[in-house]
Amino acid sequence: MAPLVSVKDLVKIYPTGTRAIDGVSLDFHKGEFVVLIGLSGSGKSTLLRCINRLIDPTSGTVAFDGRDVTHASGPELRRIRRRIGMIFQQFNLVKRSSVFANVLAGRLGYRTTWRTIASRPSREDVALAFENLGRVGIADKAFGRADALSGGQQQRVGIARALMQQPELMLADEPVASLDPATSHSVMKYLEEINKKDGITVICSLHFLSLARRYGTRVVALKGGKVAFDGLPADIDDRRFKEIYGEDAVEVEIGLGPEAPQGMTADRAALDALAQDAAHLDMR
């Protein structure tokens, strides 16, 4: 089967001289839940942004569904981008706009400029927006301002916005790094759901190996812009861990914090995940 995303000899050198990506070749297949791990500055964010070309690579190519992303012209690139959803560590919502407007923005790649100015979303877009807000459990907050929501809720708005694109691929750049452990599991559960139920391929960068083990079907570790590990989550043992994170690193588990908000931000699925995590901890 042809890969959904094919990265070949990718190199990104920033104007400051930093080699963020130093010759990466990877294939991502349909249906995978790929977790990118590595230290800060190992190139995770740059690699993700080269896939939808928020960052122009210095050399090498990225192909999405057989189309060359790296050399795509403006309109061609936008047609590729709208098939790739993305969520961010800082959520990147338009804070002053309503939740509804933020979610609707996910449809921009399909809308004409004129419709954007006239702010006349089509009936289908409005219906889709409420469907996706319902999926992430915040339909009741639709007309409040985006920055009135909690961090976990804002990230769910981010997911709803990306789902509006009806994407085939979801890029997630440290989606839970700004969230508490319970909320992290809640957000990761939504990503798992869209991966399993909707068949959307997910490439997600994470800080915590425990989350990578719990949610990933494949783990890719980057170190200094190069691939340091590519395989099953279970295959990362102590030796590999130290290779990726350095000799002094100690693995920490992300579990239920002492004052995690129960039931409020964490939905049932997340609590289930927490229970599993706790069991996992006991086993060790």
Q: Which is nearer to another protein, 40 or 112 (CB)?
A: 112
Please state the closest distance from residue 274 (CB atom) to another protein, in A: 29
Taking the C-alpha atoms of residue 83 and residue 85, their distance in angstroms, rounded to an integer, is: 7
Q: Which is nearer to another protein, 66 or 75 (CB)?
A: 75
| Beta bridge partner(s), residue 251 | none
Please state the closest distance from residue 223 (CB atom) to another protein, in A: 25
Residues in the chain: 284
Q: Which is nearer to another protein, 164 or 244 (CB)?
A: 164
Please state the closest distance from residue 44 (CB atom) to another protein, in A: 16
Q: Which is nearer to another protein, 19 or 111 (CB)?
A: 111
Please state the closest distance from residue 185 (CB atom) to another protein, in A: 23
- Given the rule CB under 8 A, which residues bind another protein? 52, 54, 74, 78-86, 88, 90-97, 101, 105-111, 113, 116-117, 158, 161-162, 164-165, 171
Please state the closest distance from residue 116 (CB atom) to another protein, in A: 5
Task: Answer for the pair 178, 158: CB distance below 8 angstroms, yes or no.
Answer: no
Taking the C-alpha atoms of residue 178 and residue 74, their distance in angstroms, rounded to an integer, is: 33
Q: Which is nearer to another protein, 94 or 232 (CB)?
A: 94
Encoded tokens for 121: 């979303």
| Residues contacting 137, CB < 8 A, separation 6+ | 156, 267
Q: Which is nearer to another protein, 101 or 179 (CB)?
A: 101
DSSP codes, 67-134: EESTT--HHHHHHHHTTEEEEETT----TTSBHHHHHHGGGGGGS-HHHHHTT---HHHHHHHHHHHH
Please state the closest distance from residue 56 (CB atom) to another protein, in A: 8
Please state the closest distance from residue 284 (CB atom) to another protein, in A: 37
Amino acid in the structure at residue 254: I
Please state the closest distance from residue 98 (CB atom) to another protein, in A: 10
Q: Which is nearer to another protein, 107 or 189 (CB)?
A: 107
DSSP codes, 12-46: EE-TTS-EEEEEEEEEE-TT-EEEEE--TTSSHHH
Element (H, E) at 135: helix 123-135
Task: Answer for the pair 107, 128: CB distance below 8 angstroms, yes or no.
Answer: yes
Q: Which is nearer to another protein, 94 or 264 (CB)?
A: 94
User: Considering only CA atoms, which of 52, 87, 85 is closest in space to residue 67?
Assistant: 52
